[in-house]
Amino acid sequence: MEYSYPFSTEWTTDEIVDVVQFFEGIEQAYEKGIKRQELLSRYRRFKEVVPAISEEKTLFREFEEESGYASFPIVKEMKAGSGDEMIKGKRI
């Protein structure tokens, strides 16, 4: 699939890379699964770049519109889990 990742022109190159890596983790959760700790690490860095919940929701919505991957259910599963189990999303 070809689509673009949401980002802000105000971010540094490193911040853009970190946000893209988080969204790649969301993709991976749907495609083959991702270890919870790996996604949690990516999400924590994402939240350093995007601390506002309103901006997070906007980016999640933009990513879902572009890719078809819903971020919120994956993040919810990640937060509810414990240990290093696999997070696997189900596309509707």
Write out pLDDT tens, residues 28-78: 999 999 999 999 999 999 999 999 999 999 999 999 999 999 999 999 999
Type of residue at 80: A
Type of residue at 60: F
Q: How confident is the model at residue 1 (pLDDT cuts 50, 70, 90)?
A: low
pLDDT at 37: 96
**CA dist 85 → 35, 40, 71, 79, 88 (Å):** 6, 11, 18, 12, 10
Domains in the chain: boundaries? 13-81
What homologous superfamily does CATH list for 13-81?
Answer: BH2638-like (1.10.220.80)
Query: pTM for the complete prediction?
Result: 0.92
